[in-house]
Amino acid sequence: MPVNSSGRALETCLMLALGPLAFANPWLLLGLPLLPILWILLRTVPPAPVRRLFPGVALLLGLADDEVQTDRTPWWLLLLRMLAVAAAIIGFADPVLTPRADTVRDGPLLLLFDGSWADAPNWSARNEHVEGLLGEASVTGRQTAVVSLTDLPSRPVLPFRSARNWLSELPGVVPVPWMPDGPAVLSWLSGLDGSFDTFWYSDGTAQDWRSAALAELQERGQVSVFEARHPVLALRPARIADGTIQVPVARSRSTEASAVTVVAHGLDPGGIERQLARVDVAIPEGESEAEVVLSLPPELTNRLTRFEIEGIRSAGAVSLTDDSLGRHEVAIIAAREEREGSRLLSPTHYLEQALRPGADLIRGAIQDIVLANPDVIVMADVASLAGSERNAVEHWVRDGGLLLRFAGPRLAASDIGREAEDVLLPVRLRAGGRRVGGAMSWGEPKRLRAFSAASPFFGLPVPDDVTVSSQVVAQPDPSMAERTIATLADGTPLVSRKRLGDGQVVLFHVTANADWSTLPLSGLFVQMLERLAISARQTQPSAEDLNGTVWTLDRRLDGFGNVGTAGTIAGVDGVRLVTESPGPDLPPGIYVGDSGTIGLNAFGASQQLAAADWPVDVPVEEFAASRSLPLKGSLLFLAILVFM
């Protein structure tokens, strides 16, 4: 409740005289100077009575009174009552004992939060401190505004109002899993008008825009900074190196040695999240980073969902895992009569070279492979399967498997998919195949056409030196255009795909080796396999890898490091996931695309983490629980007790 100007002036005087004591109704203190007058009135003796003779009084002579009353009120009793009246006057003036004198300064007050994930570990203590300051401001009637730099008002106008109103709205202010947008902050601050003091609740991290923001605020009034003294801790994205999982731990201050515990979480066979591993890591004095090194079996590595620093509730202390850590199981099945001679001519040599860095390769009989339930089954020039094998593979695909087939002489010479569509082929095939280059054919080898927007390969650059000399040709069909995901320059299908139940069947219309094309010799071959989720990445994808892809947020990370459902959010361009920092329209979490998953973490692989450096003329304090102490009730109770 605002007070008038005379009340504010009296309040300031009392603060100067009495120290950290504020009054909501200081004008009532004007009653204190009237106490001496009341003292004089109470001490005044009424006029002496007129004396008259009455004979009957003689009968009372000699009697003694049980109680003797004084002619006047004793001075000590009168003083006690004066003190009781003074206590009542002061009590009705709403006195509050405040631990901070600067909260009762005149003029508006801005409580400014960074509001980032680095604020989250101290959010409860921060809120207790803010509640105390708002309580003091509400008693003194100081207009207050609360603003988070990660959720700026749409216009550069501070929402000043009663501090009591902000007390009810404070629980709705929470940290978010990204840092403030520096240019947006400076633009908003530069548009503010008027004078006000600022209490800046910093997250303790160095930001290149912080000095300019401080200068803008100092032009408008006094600035005090509150921040936690302990360092900010964060995890960088996990990576695979030298066959181990490495998770860098960063901190904002390196003045002393410290130790943290990093916990690996993942799913058990029943799909319930469990703690899979714990590692203690020491950060030496003078060092700002240390590294957690884990060696887990592939079956546990594939189940990892996230790493987190134990005891730190912050999005920055969580490192989400994606396909860059997982290793797919890929079964390779080749024709029974593999060609003898050079290994380079093997139908599966280039496949193995492309898949081995990011996948566990398995071989065996088809029935055994299906029972092992790999992520992918690759068939290199396999024309026919036995009835039981065929049924087993079909059921496996319908249950969500990916069958990747490559053409070759045997498939071209067979009659599979000639008269009717084969369930394990995406398109019908013409007999004999097609030869478009070489000494015994007319024409030149065909180059590839740029991938269409509907293709999972969209955005991948097509090298000029990738050519095709032979292929199996799809028969024209109404569904052929929909199922074709890569074509040659003349429009004939190079790669086709169809959905089968929950899985899919993909056919490369060329061989898996260099017999029919130079595709297996190029880096494009590996990129195409990655887009099909055949080969797990061992590093984060580049912008070139993600060009033309669209990803949908599946699981979202909040400011406190909790992972939850994403809700309804529009898909994002894949390039943004590796070129932009997290923000309101690009929240951290797990993004899902046609080729797998990508984890966008709150703290990036190349992001710097250092402590904020404030000028010497700016007071920096550690926030602690700070609450005002109302004295009205105690003083009024004391006054009533005395009068009783």
- For residue 100 the two structure tokens come to 């901070």
Compute the mean pLDDT over every residue in the chain, rounded to the nearest whole number.
83
Percent of the chain with pLDDT over 90: 42
Helix (H, G, I), strand (E, B) or coil at 50: coil
Question: How high is the pLDDT of residue 399?
Answer: 86
Most confident range (mean pLDDT) of 50-64, 373-387, 503-517 is 503-517
Q: Which fold has domain 102-231+612-627?
A: Rossmann fold (3.40.50)
Question: How high is the pLDDT of residue 93?
Answer: 74
- For residue 446 the two structure tokens come to 């065909």
φ, ψ for residue 368 (rounded to 5)?
-70, -40
Q: Which of 608, 606, 605, 569 lies closest to 589, judged by CA?
A: 569
Q: For residue 476, what are the CA distances in angstroms to 348, 404, 448, 469, 495?
A: 29, 21, 20, 21, 15
Name the residue type at position 56.
G
Q: Is 171 exposed, middle or buried (0-12, 13-18, 19+ CB in 10 A)?
A: exposed
Q: Which helix (H) or strand (E) holds 366?
A: helix 366-372
Helix (H, G, I), strand (E, B) or coil at 120: helix
Superfamily of domain 328-531 in the CATH hierarchy:
Class I glutamine amidotransferase (GATase) domain (3.40.50.880)
Looking at residues 171-198, what average pLDDT do you find? 94
For helices 75-92 and 632-643, angle between their N-to-C axes, nearest 10 degrees: 150
Per DSSP, 132 falls in state H
Convert 589-627 to b/e letters by CB count within 10 Å (16 or more is b). bbbbbebbbbbbbbbbeeeebbbbebeeeeeeeebeebe
Please, which pLDDT band fits residue 618 given cuts at 50, 70 and 90?
very high
Question: How high is the pLDDT of residue 248?
Answer: 96
Residues 471-508: tens digit of each pLDDT: 999 888 888 889 999 999 988 999 999 999 888 999 99
- Residue 519, pLDDT > 90, answer yes
DSSP code per residue over 471-512: E--BPP-TTHHHHEEEEBTTS-EEEEEEEETTEEEEEESS-S
- Residue 320, pLDDT > 90, answer yes
Count of C-beta atoms within a 10 Å radius of residue 12: 15
Question: How high is the pLDDT of residue 131?
Answer: 87
DSSP code per residue over 211-276: HHHHHHHHTTS-EEEE--SSPPEEEPPPEEETTEEEEEEEES--SS-EEEEEEEEEE-TTS-EEEE
Question: How high is the pLDDT of residue 18?
Answer: 53
Per DSSP, 37 falls in state H
Question: How high is the pLDDT of residue 270?
Answer: 82
- Residue 14, pLDDT > 60, answer no
- Residue 333, pLDDT > 80, answer yes
Contact assessment for residue 222 and residue 194, using Cβ atoms and an 8 Å cutoff: no
Please, which pLDDT band fits residue 12 given cuts at 50, 70 and 90?
very low
Facing residues of 637 across strands? none
Cα-to-chain-centroid distance, residue 74: 72
Please, which pLDDT band fits residue 268 given cuts at 50, 70 and 90?
confident
Looking at residues 148-161, what average pLDDT do you find? 90
- For residue 596 the two structure tokens come to 């797998």
Tokens 């009120």 belong to residue: 73
pTM for this entry: 0.67
Higher model confidence: residue 73 or residue 610? 610
Count of C-beta atoms within a 10 Å radius of residue 367: 13
Question: How high is the pLDDT of residue 177?
Answer: 97
Cα-to-chain-centroid distance, residue 35: 62
Cα–Cα distance between 607 and 179 in angstroms, integer? 11
Question: How high is the pLDDT of residue 434?
Answer: 63
Cβ partners under 8 Å of residue 241, min gap 6: none
Looking at domain 233-320, its CATH class is mainly beta
- For residue 451 the two structure tokens come to 């991938």
Please, which pLDDT band fits residue 9 given cuts at 50, 70 and 90?
very low
Count of C-beta atoms within a 10 Å radius of residue 308: 22
Higher model confidence: residue 413 or residue 212? 212
Kindly tell me the number of DSSP H helices and DSSP E strands found in the chain.
Answer: 17, 33
Looking at residues 44-50, what average pLDDT do you find? 67
* Equal fold, 233-320 vs 328-531: no
Cα–Cα distance between 508 and 9 in angstroms, integer? 86
Percent of the chain with pLDDT over 70: 84
Name the residue type at position 275.
Q
Cα–Cα distance between 475 and 507 in angstroms, integer? 14
Question: How high is the pLDDT of residue 24?
Answer: 64
Question: How high is the pLDDT of residue 439?
Answer: 45
- Residue 47, pLDDT > 70, answer no
- Residue 65, pLDDT > 90, answer no
Q: Which helix (H) or strand (E) holds 621?
A: strand 620-621
Range scoring the smallest mean pLDDT among 40-54, 384-398, 516-530: 40-54
Spans of all domains in the chain:
102-231+612-627, 233-320, 328-531, 543-600
Helix (H, G, I), strand (E, B) or coil at 161: strand
Please, which pLDDT band fits residue 441 given cuts at 50, 70 and 90?
very low
Q: Is 272 exposed, middle or buried (0-12, 13-18, 19+ CB in 10 A)?
A: exposed
